[in-house]
């Protein structure tokens, strides 16, 4: 089995082919350099790549263990504007274009979280998808549903 290494575009030099066994035998750093050889001419990759701390943080994320009930509140727009300006270098119009839709949504109030089954129909929804034009078929369907209409007598 041959494995092609990573290739961004056709105009870059073609990477050399390596067998799956050869690729598996390489260290993570060697594998990274081999599979990315066509992207840049010189890579400055740390000798401890991939960093074990990064791998551990990915596999075992540090999450909030609080048992307190979560609650929504209106974001502090003034402090968020200052923070985004200082940390991201965003001008006030960029900050407002990103934050004001969120603030508007919060001020309208939050609705209950929807469930996935709310996006599907079931037989219990009694939704009609097509109108039945045939009188005979309509009578049969209504009979099955228990919606019998009194029949008109021909002599009346």
Spans in the chain with pLDDT lower than 50 = 1-12, 156
The answer to whether residues 15 and 7 touch, using CB atoms and an 8 Å cutoff, is yes
The pLDDT, as a whole number, for residue 34 is: 77
Structure tokens at 111: 């609705």
pLDDT of residue 63: 87
The DSSP code for 3 is: E
pLDDT of residue 15: 56
- Three-state DSSP class for residue 78: helix
**Residue ranges of domains in the chain:** 2-59, 77-108
Q: Which residues contact 20 (CB under 8 A, 6 or more apart)?
A: 1, 2, 3
């Amino acid at each position: 089995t041959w494995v092609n290494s990573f290739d961004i575009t056709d105009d870059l030099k073609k990477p050399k082919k390596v067998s799956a066994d050869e690729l598996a035998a390489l260290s993570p750093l060697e594998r990274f350099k081999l599979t990315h050889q066509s992207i840049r001419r010189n890579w400055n990759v740390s000798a401890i790549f991939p960093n074990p701390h990064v791998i551990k943080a990915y596999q075992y994320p540090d999450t909030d263990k609080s048992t307190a009930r979560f609650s929504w509140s209106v974001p502090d727009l003034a402090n968020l504007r200052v923070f985004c300006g200082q940390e991201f270098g965003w001008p006030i119009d960029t900050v407002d274009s990103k934050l004001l839709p969120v603030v508007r949504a919060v001020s309208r109030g939050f609705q209950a979280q929807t469930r996935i089954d709310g996006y599907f129909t079931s037989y219990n929804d009694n939704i009609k998808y097509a109108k039945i034009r045939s009188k005979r078929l309509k009578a049969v369907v209504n009979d099955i549903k228990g919606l019998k209409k009194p029949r008109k007598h021909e002599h009346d």
